[in-house]
Structure 1
Amino acid sequence: MIDDTDRQIIAAMQGGLPLVPAPFAEIASRLEMDEGDLMARIAAMKASGVIRRIAAAPNHYKLGMTANGMTVWDVEDARVAELGAQVGALPFVTHCYERPRALPDWPYNLFAMVHGASGDEVEEKRAQIAALLGAACRGHDILYSTRILKKTGLRLKERN
Structure 2
Amino acid sequence: MSAQDAAILDAIDRCLVIATQNGLPLVARPYHQLAEAIGIAPEEVMARLTRLLESGVIRRIGAVPNHYAIGYTANGMSVWDVPDERIDELGVRVGGLDFVTHCYHRPRRLPEWPYNLFAMVHGGSRTEVLTKVMAIAEIIGTDYRSHDVLFSTAILKKTGMRMAVRRDD
TM range (shorter): over 0.9
Counterparts of 1:21 and 1:63, CA distance in 2 = 20
Partner in structure 2 of residue 103 of structure 1: 110
Residues 57-96 of structure 1: matches in 2 within 5 Å?
Answer: 57-96=64-103
Residues 107-129 of structure 1, C-alpha deviation per residue, up to 9 Å, x if partnerless?
A: 00000000111110000000000
Runs of 4 or more consecutive aligned structure 1 residues displaced over 6 Å after TM superposition: none
Residues 38-53 of structure 1: matches in 2 within 5 Å?
Answer: 38-53=45-60
Residue identity (%) = 55
Deviation at 1:154, TM superposition (A): 4.5
Residues 24-49 of structure 1, C-alpha deviation per residue, up to 9 Å, x if partnerless?
A: 01101110101111111111111111
Counterparts of 1:134 and 1:102, CA distance in 2 = 23
Partner in structure 1 of residue 12 of structure 2: 5
Residues 78-157 of structure 1: matches in 2 within 5 Å?
Answer: 78-157=85-164
Q: TM-score, normalised by structure 1?
A: 0.95
Structure 2's unaligned 5+ residue stretches are none
Structure 1's unaligned 5+ residue stretches are none
Counterparts of 1:111 and 1:54, CA distance in 2 = 22
Q: TM-score, normalised by structure 2?
A: 0.90
Deviation at 1:75, TM superposition (A): 0.7
RMSD between aligned residues = 1.2
Of residues 122-131 and 58-67 in structure 1, the stretch that sits farther from structure 2 once superposed is 58-67
Match of 2:35 among 6, 28, 33: 28
